[in-house]
Amino acid sequence: MAVRTFVAATLASLALAGTGLATSASAAPAVRADAHGCKSGYVCIYPGPSWNNDKPSYRYFDYGYYNLRGFYGLYRIFNNQTGGATMSTCLGSDGTRCEGKLQMGDWIDKDMTPINSIRLQA
**Residue-level pLDDT at 10:** 42
End-to-end CA distance of the chain: 57
pLDDT at residue 8 in the model: 44
What is the per-residue pLDDT for 20?
Answer: 41
pTM of structure? 0.73
Q: How far apart are CA 67 and CA 5, in angstroms?
A: 69
pLDDT tens over the chain, length 122 residues: 444 444 444 444 444 344 443 333 434 344 468 899 999 999 999 999 999 999 999 999 999 999 999 999 999 999 999 999 999 999 999 999 999 999 999 999 999 999 999 999 99
Distance CA 86, CA 19 (A): 33
Instruction: Please give the Cα distance from 89 to 105 (Å, whole number).
Output: 16
What pLDDT is stored for residue 12 in this prediction? 44
Task: Give pLDDT, residue 33.
Answer: 84
Q: How many whole angstroms separate alpha carbon 15 and alpha carbon 120?
A: 43
